[in-house]
Chain A
Amino acid sequence: MLNITLEKRPSDSKLMSYLSPLFAILLTLLSGGLLFTALGQDPFHALYTFFVLPLTDVYGWTELGVKVAPLTLCAMGLMLCFKARIWNIGAEGQFILGGLGGGYIALELMDAEGFWVLPLVLFFGALSGLFWGALTALLKTRFGANEILTTIMLNYIALNWLLYGVHGPLKDPEGFNFPESAMFSDFATLPVLSDDYRLNISIFFALFAVAAIWALMSKTLLGFQISVLGEDKAAARFAGFKEERLTWFVLLACGALAGLAGVSEVTGSIGQLNPYISPGYGYAAIIVVFLGRMHPVGIVFASMLLALTYMGGEMAQMDLALPKSLTGLFQGMLLFYLLACDLLISYRIVRKPAARSIGSSSNSAQA
């Protein structure tokens, strides 16, 4: 075996908790460089194309924002759940329901005018997502069904419900029977920040969510309870924190946030309901939460990084003829390295102490 071993630190290293993501990014870049070289590309040019080129104009930055908004909204909701160790894999379904529910209202209000239309549509979107989260909470608290599995099933059901909607009742009557709804009216469209770009006010929703949840988690009793529930269930119970209520809260909140992300997407960049309203934001947001170490600021940066990987993948395809699956590769690598480097927060690498000295502290429990 190697001559090194892991030794538990007396307390978690704060330094490492900041350095670990940086190490992970560096390792990912290194691996990426090697990969590109193996593919016959100049590694620096390829890495530049992937990570830097998308951001070399204003359009690139606004597009980053277009992706960061839904990612961050979903990730903030997931952060609440994961902090409580409720493994909600269902942000995707909650996102879709949000789009579906909000979109439905938008279609019903097609002829309505007034500034009240959009807020109503957004509210219904959030409510629909909340409903989907509520289902999960019900299944978990009432029936003890494992949320990882139920949320995954609900994701598929949500998608099929969307497909049913756009193929059937919500189809555009003037649309030659294609599976999409009519375009929403201007009153049900999110205002953009500038006419030249797609970036709309949903980015503010995201930032507001970051601030609000940050305050919730760090300043309120509720936030404290959620943290304790996640870290030590027994202690939480002992302290009288109501596990069921907290479970409901985090799932409803996440559902609402993901739903808001979904309705923002359909009233913003897309402008209608169609079968492809989510490119997998609900799943990508899970990565964002871990990459962002379950901290609001970290999550914002992680959203930006992840959004960049999507755009980089497109650039690499366009400019270097590299396959689209690169994006998933990089994202997976990033998460792997982060998980590996995270170990260094609680453990440090030391040389194995000499084996034969009497009274040495090394004993049998190296597995």
Chain B
Amino acid sequence: MYLNKLTKLAMTAALAFGASLATAEDPLKVGFVYVGPTGDAGWSFGHDEGRKYIVEKFGDKIETNYVESVAEGADSERVIRQLAAKGHELIFTTSFGYMNPTLKVAKRFKKVKFEHATGYKRSKNVGTYFARAYQGRYLTGLIAGKMTKSNVIGYVGSFPIPEVIRGINAFTKGAMEANPNITVKVVWASTWYDPAKEREAAETLMLQGADVLTQHTDSAAVIQAAESKGNYAIGYHSDMSAYGEKAHLTSTIHNWGPLYAAKVQAVMDGTWKSEDLWPGIAEGVTDLAPLNDAIPADVKALVAKKKQAIKDGSMRVFDGPIFDQSGKEVIGAGATMDDAALKNFNWYVKGVEGKLPKS
């Protein structure tokens, strides 16, 4: 009799448990692969901030995991695959070098959705995304053009790929609009992240007369270099003013949160599809760090005005006329460069000094 009661109890409990399993939503597992440490105040930091944004937004409905400092190369495939194998349904691989490994893993894990940052290859379950950082760079170029006294602006570049060239060109276009007498000098540090090299590149630029610097590298060394010499600098990825209170004018930053939230929502709604997403200022994914008070009010107003124009679509950064270094008009007035042309950018606009390295 005892046993009967016990059995009945057990069975009821089991039924209830089973029912609860069926009705409770398993949280959506979202995975992130970072190429650097989240503390780098740079590229990976930005992505992790995006992750934190969706954690806050979706609460219990999602579970996020990340792996940082995953070297690009053959080993990254294993990490991505492990994430997929551990039940993550949406995985963000946040560096170019993960492109082919992501595709390979996606072939095997057809139900998992992958989003690859900065890449160009997609498949049924692999989408790509990036931010229109160049819009932010254009705005910072306006500031640089107005703030320089020597009319020489220094650009610490990483590698001569279209993304970086596009940034240089957008920046230079803005600077020239603000001050037609400037010239932008580019030094290639041949690294994305190496504080000492970035610093040396910055110093090299300064010793050639640059009094405003900017960068397409990931550490704050350029800001520090500028601060030490009493010059200005514009950072990248995050507000780098802690590294140079006086020097740091602003930074172009990425705001991945809204993009990540949209993708998570799409997976939850079952509407996810592979696409090439390239949002910018209008979507809130690209922005500027707070402007330094040293920037005069009229410059701030100019930046605000242009930012609004980009936001509402009344202007585009690469609207014509655009001239190349020889002065030839490559894009006429009234025309504009389309996304395909922007993605293949491999020439310098007027105002940039020097030749583009071919290797």
Binding site for B on A (CB under 8 A): 59, 63, 66, 163-165, 167-169, 175-179, 183, 196, 198, 265, 269-272, 274-279, 310-311, 314-315, 317-318, 323-324
Q: How many angstroms between the C-alpha atoms of A39 and B73 in the bound complex?
A: 29
Chain B residues 23-69 with CB under 8 Å of chain A are 65, 67-69
Report A-chain residues with C-beta under 8 Å of the C-beta of B65.
318
Residue contact A269 to B79, C-beta cutoff 8 Å: no
Residue contact A177 to B346, C-beta cutoff 8 Å: yes
B interface, size bucket: 20 to 34
Residue of chain B at shortest CB distance from A63: B78
Q: How many angstroms between the C-alpha atoms of A167 and B190 in the bound complex?
A: 10
- Residue B77 contacts which of A164, A198, A275, A310 (CB distance < 8 angstroms)? A198
Q: How many angstroms between the C-alpha atoms of A310 and B344 in the bound complex?
A: 37
Residue contact B86 to A176, C-beta cutoff 8 Å: no
Residue of chain B at shortest CB distance from A171: B359
Report A-chain residues with C-beta under 8 Å of the C-beta of B77.
198, 269
- Residue B73 contacts which of A177, A196, A198, A276 (CB distance < 8 angstroms)? A276
Ordered by A's residue number, 17 sampled pairs between the chains whose C-beta atoms are within 8 Å are: A59-B85, A175-B120, A176-B161, A176-B344, A177-B346, A178-B161, A183-B100, A269-B77, A270-B100, A272-B100, A275-B72, A276-B71, A277-B73, A315-B82, A318-B67, A318-B83, A318-B86
Q: How many angstroms between the C-alpha atoms of A179 and B99 in the bound complex?
A: 12
Q: B159: CB under 8 A from chain A?
A: yes
Q: B284: CB under 8 A from chain A?
A: no
Residue contact B96 to A178, C-beta cutoff 8 Å: yes
Residue contact A269 to B74, C-beta cutoff 8 Å: yes
Q: How many angstroms between the C-alpha atoms of A198 and B100 in the bound complex?
A: 14
**Among B68, B74, B85, B346: residue with most chain A CB under 10 A:** B74
Residue contact A168 to B359, C-beta cutoff 8 Å: yes
- Residue B74 contacts which of A59, A270, A317 (CB distance < 8 angstroms)? A270
Report B-chain residues with C-beta under 8 Å of the C-beta of A278.
73
Residue contact A314 to B161, C-beta cutoff 8 Å: no
The 4 residue pairs across chains A and B that have the minimum distance between CB atoms? A168-B359, A276-B73, A269-B74, A324-B69
How far, in Å, is B72 (CB) from chain A's closest CB?
5
Q: B75: CB under 8 A from chain A?
A: yes
Q: How many angstroms between the C-alpha atoms of A83 and B103 in the bound complex?
A: 43
Q: B279: CB under 8 A from chain A?
A: no
Q: How many angstroms between the C-alpha atoms of A240 and B97 in the bound complex?
A: 53
Q: B209: CB under 8 A from chain A?
A: no
Q: A311-B78, A314-B67 are in contact. List 11 more A-B contacts (CB 8 A).
A: A59-B81, A167-B159, A168-B358, A177-B161, A177-B346, A269-B77, A270-B100, A276-B71, A279-B73, A279-B75, A318-B67
Residue contact B82 to A314, C-beta cutoff 8 Å: yes
Known contacts A164-B359, A167-B160, A277-B73, A177 near B344 by CB under 8 Å? yes
Report B-chain residues with C-beta under 8 Å of the C-beta of A196.
108
Q: How many angstroms between the C-alpha atoms of A214 and B175 in the bound complex?
A: 66
Q: How many angstroms between the C-alpha atoms of A278 and B75 in the bound complex?
A: 10
Q: How many angstroms between the C-alpha atoms of A279 and B78 in the bound complex?
A: 13
How far, in Å, is B251 (CB) from chain A's closest CB?
24
Report B-chain residues with C-beta under 8 Å of the C-beta of A165.
359
Residue of chain A at shortest CB distance from B83: A318
Q: B110: CB under 8 A from chain A?
A: no
Residue contact A324 to B68, C-beta cutoff 8 Å: yes
How far, in Å, is A324 (CB) from chain B's closest CB?
4
How far, in Å, is A138 (CB) from chain B's closest CB?
27
Q: B258: CB under 8 A from chain A?
A: no
Q: Mark B252-268, 1 if CB is under 8 A from A, else 0.
A: 00000000000000000
How far, in Å, is A172 (CB) from chain B's closest CB?
11
Report A-chain residues with C-beta under 8 Å of the C-beta of B67.
314, 317-318
Q: B343: CB under 8 A from chain A?
A: yes
Known contacts A167-B159, A269-B77, A318-B79, A274 near B358 by CB under 8 Å? no
Residue contact B72 to A179, C-beta cutoff 8 Å: no
Q: How many angstroms between the C-alpha atoms of A265 and B161 in the bound complex?
A: 25
Q: B162: CB under 8 A from chain A?
A: yes
- Residue B162 contacts which of A63, A66, A177 (CB distance < 8 angstroms)? A177
Residue of chain B at shortest CB distance from A178: B161
Residue contact B343 to A176, C-beta cutoff 8 Å: yes
How far, in Å, is B34 (CB) from chain A's closest CB?
10
Residue contact A179 to B358, C-beta cutoff 8 Å: no
How far, in Å, is B48 (CB) from chain A's closest CB?
12
Report B-chain residues with C-beta under 8 Å of the C-beta of A198.
77
Chain B residues 74-120 with CB under 8 Å of chain A are 74-75, 77-79, 81-83, 85-86, 96-97, 100, 108, 120
Report B-chain residues with C-beta under 8 Å of the C-beta of A311.
78
Residue of chain A at shortest CB distance from B75: A279
Residue of chain A at shortest CB distance from B344: A176
Report A-chain residues with C-beta under 8 Å of the C-beta of B85.
59
Report A-chain residues with C-beta under 8 Å of the C-beta of B86.
318
Residue contact B68 to A270, C-beta cutoff 8 Å: no
Residue of chain B at shortest CB distance from A195: B108
- Residue A271 contacts which of B96, B100, B159 (CB distance < 8 angstroms)? B100
Report B-chain residues with C-beta under 8 Å of the C-beta of A183.
100
Known contacts A167-B160, A178-B96, A317 near B68 by CB under 8 Å? yes
Residue contact A179 to B69, C-beta cutoff 8 Å: no
How far, in Å, is A101 (CB) from chain B's closest CB?
17
